[in-house]
Structure 1
Amino acid sequence: MDRRLVHRAAVCEVLPTCWARVDRDRYMIGAQWPRDHSFYRPVLPHLHDPLLVLETVRQVGLLVAHVGAEVPLGHHFVMHAIGYDVDPGLLRLGREPADLTIDVTCQVHRRRPTGAVRLGVLTRIARGGDVLGTGFGEMTCLPPELYRNLRARSVSPGEVPDHDLPSVEPRRVGRYRAEDVVISPGGVPSRWLIRVDRDHPVLFDHPLDHVPGMLVFEAMRQALAYTERGIVPLGCRAELSRYVELSPPASIALRPGGGDPVFDLEQNGKAAGRVAWFMSPGAARDVPGPRR
């Protein structure tokens, strides 16, 4: 598998293993999760990290955009929405790596004369012949010149992240190493700042001019662990409205109330997204997907 198709620099971070087109907009993709991972470590004694599901959906979306929707390598992707819903059986840690078969439908919603492409992907994830999960993503693919123009209006020259933000205690968020902790106390209960380390070998697998989405999702998962809401979310629905910049620090705020947790993502006084997490099997299935 060409790592450029999933926007990864390190071969060991590539999850898809093979792909085949089976219909006009349908693909079968093989993927594999390692028994252990340098960052997405097993949770509890016997489960794969559920954020591997999100990373798999993300990589599969990039892959089919390139090989199916004919988006050239070098284009930039703006993620508008992403989510998943899984049975715990999908996450079961075995004595061998987890081999997955992913049935993917990719639909191009819009092609602009500028070269921008809006598309959506729907996935059904099987393990051992049983479909145990689903996922979706909505994204826009931008040619380099259009992306540069877009980012020129958002990025201030010389802005760098604050590496000195204090971390919460690693064990409170299910981590062993301080360098893997991505949240800092936000000054008020149920609010945290996102710590950004551009030298992190997984979250910043290659240079980026913005905070990667997987770092934002990990921050929320760590906040769930910190508040003892759980570390194994079985579903997620994220709607994202803008890039999270490297600076100033963005914040995540857990909405008050019971039920499944919902986070608001903000930066510089502006809303950047909303993410709902579901802690019970099947809880995310009845949540409407993103509007097209």
Structure 2
Amino acid sequence: MAATTEAVADLAEPVELSFGRTIDRALVHRASVAEVFVTDIRPAGEARFLAAAQLPLSHGYYSDHTARPAVFDPLLVLEAGRQAGIAGAHLLGLPPRAMMMVASFTITLDGPLLAGHLPGELRIDNRFDARRTRGGRVRTGSVTQDLVLDGEPAGVHTMEVNVVTPGEHEALRRLMRGTPAPSTRDLGDPEGVSRALPHEVGRSNPLNVVVADVERAPRRARALVAPSFANRSLFDHEYDHLPATTLAEAARQLAVVLAGDEAVPYEVSGRFLRFAELDLPCVAEAEAGPGGAVEVRFAQGDGIVAEMRLRLSGEAGR
């Protein structure tokens, strides 16, 4: 799906948005300034914001890919969109401590985003839809984003979230588990598992491998989700569950197992049904379909916690 004509016209204005420095990390729920990609965000209507993000050429996580030629990682674009959506929601009045839990997302790119000699300049047209209770409080919301990279339409991202306070989040976690949820701060990396070799999942740095005990059959793959909590791009701050971004990376790595390290996703969608617990095995099962599609399901115990679908530039299941 291409960006709308109106959005492209708005985002083509060179004086509208700045790429000079990042916005306050608190606006995008990041602990490290180095993990903030949004550089500007400005109102453009009652429930609309225009945002700018700089896509780095060199990043320990997002640039660590063996596929060539080098492209801007679709999950980097996804993260930039997520950050712009969170910042816009706060600027529209969502309280600073409100937690936005991703319920679903879809990012569809118009093609491979080739990286050149300069960082990418991504312009994001954000349009928000907040659903409120009778008392006026936002409980759920969505954002639709048209993406323009270096002046050219790049694709569309949509995201739906549930909004809770920290107290509500803690109470929900206790109710679902019966006990307090552990934290990445208190847990070590998984033991007794054999992480995939980096080149098997299109990576160079072992720290960026998030799947272990990989099993492959014709057009199918299975693995444990076993990230290192020392990866400060995936775990920039403390979590009590496996975040959506980590599951998306696991899905991408299983897709690479099926399709080869030259395959690059141009469409990724996810639906998150339950919290992916840190202290239970999380099993990912991938199946290759027609047209370069890969379906991935994440299970804990006898329940599905998330479902993802990727469409790849290469042919899955070779």
Q: TM-score, structure 2 length as denominator?
A: 0.82
Q: Radius of gyration: which is bigger? A: 2
Aligned to 1:242: 274
Q: Displacement, 1:116?
A: 5.0
* 8 Å contact from structure 2 (residues 130, 138) kept in 1: no
Are 1:178 and 2:200 counterparts?
no
Residue deviations 1:7-48 (CA, integer Å, cap 9, x gap): 111101101100110100111001110011110115423211
Q: Which residue of 2 aligns with 1:74?
A: 97
Report the residue type matching 1:179 in the other structure. L
> For residues 164-219 of structure 1, what are the alpha-carbon distances to aligned partners after superposition, in whole Å with 9 as ceiling and x for unaligned?
22101111111122222100125674111100322221111111111111111111
Kept after mapping to 1: 8 A contact 2:41/2:84? no
2:161 match: secondary structure: strand
Are 2:287 and 1:255 aligned? yes
Query: Residue 216 and residue 236 in structure 1: after superposition, are their counterparts in 2 closer, same or farther (change >3 A)?
Result: same
Q: Distance in 2 between matches of 1:25 and 1:16?
A: 19
| 1:57 equivalent in alignment to 2:81 | yes
Would the alpha carbon gap of residues 104 and 257 (structure 1) be closer, same or farther in structure 2, given more than 3 Å must change?
Answer: closer
Conserved 8 A contact 1:117-1:142: yes
Hey, what's the Cα distance between the residues in 2 that align with 1:125 and 1:202? 22
Q: How does 1:8-87 map to 2 (within 5 A)?
A: 8-41=30-63, 43-68=67-92, 70-87=93-110
Kindly state the Cα deviation for residue 123 of structure 1 after the two structures are TM-superposed.
Answer: 0.3
Distance 1:257 1:29, change over 3 A: closer
Q: How far apart, in 1, do the equivalents of 2:281 and 2:126 lie? A: 35
Gaps of 5+ in 1: 282-292
Q: Which residue of the other structure, out of 204, 211, 222, is the alignment partner of 1:191?
A: 222
Aligned length: 279
What corresponds to 2:312 in structure 1?
A: 279
- Contact 1:221-1:231 at 8 Å conserved across structures: no
User: Residues of 1 paired with 2:134 and 2:76: CA distance?
Assistant: 32
RMSD: 2.1
When the two structures are superposed, what TM-score results if normalisation uses the length of structure 1? 0.88
Q: Percent identity?
A: 28
**d(CA) in 1 for partners of 2:274 and 2:85?**
19
1:184, 1:194 within 8 Å by CA — same for their partners in 2?
yes
Please state how far the C-alpha of 1:114 moved relative to its aligned partner.
Answer: 9.4
5+ residue gaps, structure 2, are 1-22
Spell out the pairing of 1:264-275 with structure 2 (5 A cutoff): 264-275=297-308
Distance 1:119 1:161 in 2: 34
The CA distance in 1 between the partners of 2:155 and 2:274, in whole Å, is 27
Question: CA distance change for structure 1 residues 153 and 186 in 2, over 3 Å: closer, same or farther?
Answer: farther
1:130-141 matches, within 5 Å, as 130-141=152-163
